[in-house]
Copies of this chain bind each other. A is one copy, B any other.
Amino acid sequence: MITAGGIDEVRRLIGEAKKAGKTIGFVPTMGALHEGHLSLVRRAKSECDYVAVSVFVNPTQFGEGEDLDKYPRDIEKDSAMLSAEGTDLLFFPTTDDMYPDGFDTWVVPGGPASILEGERRPGHFKGVCTVVLKLFQIVSPDKAFFGQKDAQQFTVLNRMVIDLNLALQMIECPIVREADGLAMSSRNAYLNSKERKAAVIFNQAITRGAEIIKDGNSTRDQVITEISKVLSKEPLARLDYAEIVNAEDFSVIEKPRGVVYILIAGFIGGTRLIDNIKLKIEK
Contact = CB atoms under 8 A, between A and B. Distances in A.
A160 interface: yes
A159 interface: yes
Interface string A78-121: 00000000000000000000001011111111110000000000
A107 B167 CA distance: 17
A140 B164 contact: no
A159 B109 contact: no
B167 A11 contact: yes
Interface stretch (A34-42, A129-137, A192-200): A129-137
Interface string A133-159: 110011010000000000000000001
B108 A105 contact: yes
A54 to B, nearest CB: 12
A7 B167 CA distance: 11
Given A106-B107, A107-B107, 18 more contacts: A7-B165, A104-B109, A104-B163, A105-B108, A105-B109, A105-B129, A105-B159, A105-B163, A105-B164, A106-B110, A108-B108, A130-B164, A134-B164, A134-B165, A137-B165, A137-B167, A138-B165, A140-B167
